[in-house]
Amino acid sequence: MPSLNTKNPFFRIRIHMFTGTFQNSIDSKNRLIIPSKYRDMLGGRCMLTRGFDRCLYIYSIEDYEVLVEKIKKLPQSDRDVRKFIREFFSNTEDCHLDAQGRILIPQHLRDYAHITKNLVTKGAMDKIELWSAEVLQDPNGENMMDNDEFASKLSAFI
């Protein structure tokens, strides 16, 4: 089989495409069972970090490395970039899945995402989002897919 030049962005193959929504919870030891659909794609190890909108992100090691390369290209002379880098990397955990496919969610990340027990796990293309079920079901929360301003902004990209 011929090898592809993966350095060229036109030939980059997306190995992971996380899709789907799962209802789950953390156990008494604050461990999350990764849905079986995602376990093989993670290969036994993943990176867990803060996400936007009070959720957590799980990246495969490969996708995390791609993200890190993009972050490295940001101008570190910019104070906001330095602040983002500091915040992002200081709140990222290297996680190894145990034999049952579980990862530990540290207290500081549970606090950030308001995770107490019930979770919603959502595939989000190159990452997995972990949401507190309570945060996601907040009646004051906004469904951005119903927002006209968001739809207009998105139309510029797709």
CA atoms of 51 and 109, how far apart (whole Å): 10
Per-residue confidence band for 2, with pLDDT thresholds at 50, 70 and 90: very low
Per-residue confidence band for 152, with pLDDT thresholds at 50, 70 and 90: confident
Instruction: Classify each residue of 115-136 as buried b or exposed e, where b means 16 or more C-beta atoms within 10 Å of its C-beta.
Output: beeebbbbbeebbbbbbbbebb
* Superfamily classification of domain 14-136: Transcriptional regulator MraZ domain (3.40.1550.20)
Look at residues 23, 59, 53, 52 and name the one whose alpha carbon lies nearest to residue 38.
59
What does the pLDDT read at residue 149? Answer: 75
Count CA atoms within 13 Å of residue 37 on its CB side. 10
Average pLDDT, the chain: 86
Q: Tell me what percent of the residues of the chain surpass a pLDDT of 70.
A: 78
Domain boundaries in the chain? 14-136
pTM: 0.82
DSSP 139: T
What does the pLDDT read at residue 146? Answer: 57
pLDDT tens column, 28-76: 999 999 999 999 899 999 999 999 888 999 999 999 999 999 999 999 9
